[in-house]
Structure 1
Amino acid sequence: MHVIANLARIKMSLIQSLLKYLTPALTALALSTPAYAAPPSLLLGISEGTASTETYAEMQDKYKPLAHYLSLQLKRPVVLESSRSLESLNYNLKNKRYDLVLTRVVQIAARAMRDDGYRLVVTAKGELMTDFIVRADSPLKSPADLKGKKIALPEEQAFVTRVALAMLRDQGIQPNQVSLSYFRGQEALADGVQKKSQEAGAIGSFSKIAKNWTAQGGRVLWQSPKLPFWPVLASANVDDATINATKTALLGLSNTPEGEAILKNVGVAGFAISEPTPYLAVLKWLDK
């Protein structure tokens, strides 16, 4: 029994001696080894501009599947932030707060590319024009007939409004030569035309109103040339590898049923590779 007790004491003494010398070394090793850091999140900004009638909660629900998909593909959190405020969109782009942004407000996106270092990742597939609509029984027959008339437009900074004013300018019609009214929401704008409080109105060709207008008896008096569609941009703070991975992920959405469901949810047919040139050309035209 004494032998066993002595052996136990010797064993404990050896363990204590080893800990005395090993503990500082293990501590130093732990301090010198950097802890694993999860990749930082990316902030994805969404702006459908003033044409959207959806609430913040509805917008968040609409784009959550896209943000979740990007999180999985990029292997890092993608945080979603939706906004209808163009002032907020301008502020967040100027301050490079958004890492990624999908917006329908083409002139603001183009300005972010020109002035704020944002890079074009992909473009949504689709056609975008500005339509001047009138009632079926309207006496207006040509763009020149708009001079002196009551014209309904979306909010002043909306892309459709900027395009409509540029079209009128090129036709030789200045803002002081027409009576302009601004509406929040294209449904209200079209209702004004339908009820004859407005003689014409400008709407986006992608809107439900535009798609239903002629079917319901209205006319498109004048249509702009095809314009660049909704872009996805990346901040100058986002590295090339992340931009390329984002591009690959978005282009691949149309290759799977799950991806097709995400595209249908956000209202685009898919994404395609494009260049900044047409966006910058439109911005130059609008700013003439």
Structure 2
Amino acid sequence: MNMDNATTKDRFSFIRKTPLSLHNPVVALLLCLASFFATSFNAMAQTTYTFAVVPQFEQRKLFAIWKPIVDEVAQRSGLSLKLVATLSVPEFEHGIGQGAFDFVYANPYHIMKVSSSQGYIPLVRDSAPLRGILVVRKDSPIHSPAELDGKTVAFPSPNAIGASLLMRADLARLFKATVKPLYVKTHSSVYLHVVNGLASAGGGVEKTLQEQDPSIRDALKVLYTTREMASHPIAAHPRVPKEVREKLRSALLEFGATREGREMLAKVPMEQVVSTSIDDYAAMRTWGLESLWVDE
């Protein structure tokens, strides 16, 4: 009995004194698996996706509207999202053309234009259609877009789909009006230029006009409205994994169905969030807008 006990003690003593060897295949495998899962976990935890928004408002107002939305969607989806706001529409367009942003809220025609090079995938949009509007001061003597021939008209940028691109096409083709375009960076600046008499008219969209201060909005009247189109989408670059794209889509749809979500998204404005795809924008390819696009 004593010999057995001694033998047992010796065995355990040997085990305690023998270090785990990295050459042991089982130990090596366990270490490799631990390293793999730790690396994968850290990679997922550290992945932050950029969420860029077309500068439809001046930057401070844009952050005030979009930052709470992005933060809420990040919390609901479990994703790490960083809001990005460029200083101008051309700067934003350049970023999309380079595929610089993971998620974007953008001009639908620009999404179509870079579809072959970047392939942004529309996820959600507002159910309400987008229409461009041409505004003048309420006391303006101009009663038809044709009367703007030779006059200065303010636009946010050359390529804003409803406010500028389609509007300039309609002025030239439907009303034979050759205008002097003045590009002023944002929709809000367009309306201010018209109210202050710095432009005879201005291009915008119904949604952004409704977001203006009443003192600006009530000083303007809509002279002309374009055909309707599917609203600006929130889209994802194809490098974003499909499961991540779908998490964002689901979070936006769920958030948009809540009272708090509707109130916050109405400021975009996005009244009712619905799922979308590139097919909703295909008709734009037939509108002959390519010749009016300006690469900046």
Report TM bin, short chain.
0.7 to 0.9
**Cα separation, partners in 2 of 1:19 and 1:273, compared to 1, 3 Å:** same
Alignment of 1:150-165 (within 5 A): 150-159=152-161, 160-165=163-168
Deviations 1:243-270 (A, max 9, x none): 2332222111133344345434644223
1:42 positional shift: 4.3
User: How high is the sequence identity, in percent, across the aligned residues?
Assistant: 20
SS in 2 for 1:180: strand
Alignment of 1:130-169 (within 5 A): 130-159=132-161, 160-169=163-172
8 Å CA contact retained: 2:124, 2:275:
yes
Matched, 1:96 2:99: yes
Partner of 2:32: 32
**Cα separation, partners in 2 of 1:113 and 1:32, compared to 1, 3 Å:** same
8 Å CA contact retained: 2:208, 2:269:
no
Aligned length in residues = 277
Matched, 1:194 2:206: no
Instruction: Calculate the TM-score normalised by the size of structure 2.
Output: 0.76
Matched, 1:44 2:46: no
d(CA) in 2 for partners of 1:19 and 1:76? Answer: 47
Deviations 1:213-260 (A, max 9, x none): 897354321111122212011111123333233222211113334434
Deviations 1:55-109 (A, max 9, x none): 3xx5445433333333344434233322243344334333433222222x33222
Deviations 1:22-78 (A, max 9, x none): 4443642433313332226242322233x31123xx544543333333334443423
Partner of 1:277: 279
**Cα separation, partners in 2 of 1:278 and 1:141, compared to 1, 3 Å:** farther
Stretch of structure 1 that moved more, 252-261 or 217-226: 252-261
Alignment of 1:178-189 (within 5 A): 178-189=179-190
d(CA) in 2 for partners of 1:200 and 1:89? Answer: 25
Partner of 1:69: 72
Instruction: Calculate the TM-score normalised by the size of structure 1.
Output: 0.78
1:207 positional shift: 1.6
**Cα separation, partners in 2 of 1:287 and 1:30, compared to 1, 3 Å:** same
Stretch of structure 1 that moved more, 118-127 or 17-26: 17-26
Letter in 2 for 1:71: A
d(CA) in 2 for partners of 1:100 and 1:65? Answer: 16
SS in 1 for 2:114: helix
**Cα separation, partners in 2 of 1:129 and 1:73, compared to 1, 3 Å:** same
Partner of 2:206: 205
1:283 positional shift: 5.0
Partner of 1:14: 12
1:281 positional shift: 2.7
Structure 1: 5+ residue runs without aligned partners? none
8 Å CA contact retained: 1:204, 1:210:
no
8 Å CA contact retained: 1:186, 1:209:
no
d(CA) in 1 for partners of 2:62 and 2:197? Answer: 32
Partner of 1:242: 244
d(CA) in 2 for partners of 1:253 and 1:70? Answer: 7
**Cα separation, partners in 2 of 1:236 and 1:19, compared to 1, 3 Å:** farther
